[in-house]
Structure 1
Amino acid sequence: MITKRRCRVGKHKLIWLVLVSLFTNSAWAEMQLNLTKGVTAVSRDVYDLHMLVLWICTAIGVIVFGAMFWSMAFHRKSKGAKAADFHESTKVEILWTAIPIVILIAMAVPATTTLIAMEDNTNSDVTIQITGSQWKWHYKYFDQDIEYYSVLSTPPEQYQNQQETTAIKGEHYLLEVDKPLVIPANKKVRFLITSDDVIHSWWVPAFAIKQDANPGFINEAWTRVDEPGIYRGQCAELCGKDHGFMPIVVEVKSAEDYDIWLNEQQQRIAQAASAEQASLTTAMSKAELMQLGKTTYTAYCSACHQPSGLGLPPAFPALKDSPITTTGTIQDHINIVFNGKTGTGMQAYGKQLSLKELAAVITYERNAWGNNTGDLVQASDVKSAVASSVEGKAQEATASLAIETAVEEAVEIITEEVPVEDLSKVYSHDELMTMGEKVYLKACVACHQPTGAGLPPAFPALKGSVIATGDITVHLDMVINGSKKNAAMTAFGSQLTKTEIAAVVTYERNAWGNNTGDLVQPAAVDAASAK
Structure 2
Amino acid sequence: MKRRNLGWLLLGSLLSSSVWADMSLNLTKGVTEVSRDVYDLHMLVLYICTVIGVVVFGAMFWSMVFHRKSKGVKPATFHESTKVEILWTTIPVIILIAMAVPATYTLIAMENNDDSDITIQVTGSQWKWHYKYFDQDLEFYSVLATPREQYENQDGSSAEKGEHYLLEVDRPLVIPTNKKVRFVITSDDVIHAWWVPAFAVKQDANPGFINEAWTKVDEPGIYRGQCAELCGKDHGFMPIVVEVKTEADYALWLEEQKQLKANAAAAEAASLTASVSMDELMQLGETTYTAYCASCHQVSGQGLPPAFPALKGSAIATTGPASEHIDIVFNGRAGTGMQGYGKQLSLKEIAAVVTYERNAWGNNTGDAIQAADVKAAVGGEVSDGLKAAATSITEVKTEISEEKPAEDLSKVYSQAELMSMGEQVYMSACAACHQASGEGMAPVFPALKGSAMVTGDVTAHIDMVLNGSKKNPAMAAFGSQLTKTQIAAVVTYERNAWGNNTGDLVQPADVAASAK
TM-score by length of 1: 0.68
Partner of 1:270: 262
- Offset at residue 165 of structure 1 (A): 4.0
Do the aligned partners of residues 219 and 291 (structure 1) sit closer, same or farther apart at CA in structure 2, a change above 3 Å counting? same
Amino acid at match of 1:213: A
Q: What SS class does the counterpart of residue 251 from structure 1 fall into?
A: strand
* Aligned residue identity for 2:137: D
Question: 1:75 & 1:361 partners in 2: Cα distance?
Answer: 81
Q: Which residue of 2 aligns with 1:329?
A: 321
How far off its partner does 1:119 sit? 0.4
Moved more, 157-166 or 318-327: 157-166
Q: CA deviation at 1:134?
A: 0.3
Q: In 2, Cα distance between the equivalents of 1:166 and 1:201?
A: 29
- In the alignment, residue 322 of structure 1 is paired with which amino acid? S
Alpha carbons 2:151, 2:158 under 8 Å: kept: no
> What is the aligned partner in structure 2 of residue 52 from structure 1?
44
Deviation at 1:393, TM superposition (A): 7.7
> After superposition, where does 1:253-292 map in structure 2 within 5 Å?
253-292=245-284
Cα distance in 2, alignment partners of residues 341 and 185 from structure 1: 40
Q: How does 1:359-374 map to 2 (within 5 A)?
A: 359-374=351-366
Which residue does the alignment assign to 2:53?
61
Q: What secondary structure sits across from 2:155 in the alignment?
A: coil
Residue equivalent to 1:125: 117
Distance 1:174 1:283 in 2: 37
Cα distance in 2 for residues equivalent to 1:165 and 1:385: 42
Q: Which runs of 5+ in 2 are unaligned?
A: 1-19, 383-398, 404-516
Residue of structure 2 aligned with 1:225, choices 217, 236, 243: 217
SS across alignment from 1:343: coil
Q: Matches of 2:203 and 2:172 in 1, distance apart?
A: 18
Partners of 2:21 and 2:29 within 8 A in 1: no
Taking the TM superposition and a 5 Å limit, the aligned residue runs for 1:289-300 are: 289-300=281-292
Give the Cα separation in 1 of the matches to 2:329 and 2:126. 15
Q: Aligned letter for 2:210?
A: I
Cα drift, residue 103 of structure 1: 0.5
Within 5 A, what are the aligned runs for 1:161-240?
Answer: 161-163=153-155, 165-240=157-232
Aligned-residue offset at 1:97: 1.3
Partner Cα distance (1:162, 1:329) in 2: 34
User: Residue deviations 1:122-170, cap 9 Å, x none?
Assistant: 1111100000000000000012010000000000111111236451100
Give the distance between the partners of 2:174 and 2:130, measured in 1 at CA.
12
Aligned letter for 1:105? I
Q: State the shift of 1:48 in Å.
A: 0.3
Alignment of 1:15-54 (within 5 A): 32-54=24-46
Structure 2 residue 128 is the aligned partner of structure 1 residue 136: yes
**2:366 paired with 1:388:** no
C-alpha contact 1:335 1:389 (8 A) present in aligned 2: no
Partner-residue secondary structure (3-state), 1:170: coil
Cα drift, residue 30 of structure 1:
11
Give the distance between the partners of 2:25 and 2:43, measured in 1 at CA. Answer: 13
TM-score by length of 2: 0.69
- Structure 1 stretches lacking a partner, 5+ long: 1-27, 397-531
Between the aligned partners of 1:335 and 1:218, the Cα distance in structure 2 is 29
Is residue 90 from structure 1 mapped to residue 121 from structure 2 by the alignment?
A: no
Task: Find the counterpart in structure 1 of residue 13 from structure 2.
Answer: none
Aligned residues: 368
Which structure would you say has the larger Rg? 1
Q: What corresponds to 1:246 in structure 2? A: 238
C-alpha distance after superposition, 1:245-298 (max 9, x if no partner) = 000000000000000000000111111111111100001000110011011001
Specify the code of the residue in structure 1 equivalent to 2:221.
G
Equivalents in 1 of 2:372, 2:38: separation in Å? 54
Percent identity (aligned): 78
Aligned in 2, Cα 1:31/1:166: closer, same or farther, shift over 3 Å? farther
1:331-480 to 2 correspondences below 5 Å: 331-388=323-380
Cα–Cα, structure 1 residues 164 and 56, in superposed 2: closer, same or farther, change >3 Å?
A: closer
CA distance in 1: counterparts of 2:63 and 2:36, whole angstroms: 40
Task: Give distance in 2, aligned partners of 1:319 and 1:165.
Answer: 27
Q: 2:380 is paired with a residue of what secondary structure?
A: helix
Change (3 A) 1:147 1:162: same
CA offsets 1:171-226 (integer angstroms, 9 cap, x no match):
00000000000000110000000000000000000000110000000100000000
Q: CA deviation at 1:389?
A: 7.4
Give me the whole-angstrom Cα distance separating, in 1, the residues matched to 2:26 and 2:402: 60
Deviation of the 1:88 alpha carbon: 1.5
- Contact 2:217–2:244 under 8 Å retained in 1: yes
1:102 to 81, 94, 108: 94
Indicate the residue corresponding to 1:491 in structure 2.
none
Query: What residue in structure 2 maps to residue 313 of structure 1?
Result: 305
- The aligned amino acid for 1:40 is T
Output the aligned Cα RMSD.
1.8
- Does the 8 Å contact 1:192/1:219 carry over to 2? yes
Q: Residues 164 and 90 from structure 1, CA distance in 2 versus in 1: closer, same or farther, beyond 3 angstroms?
A: closer
Cross-structure match for 1:160:
152
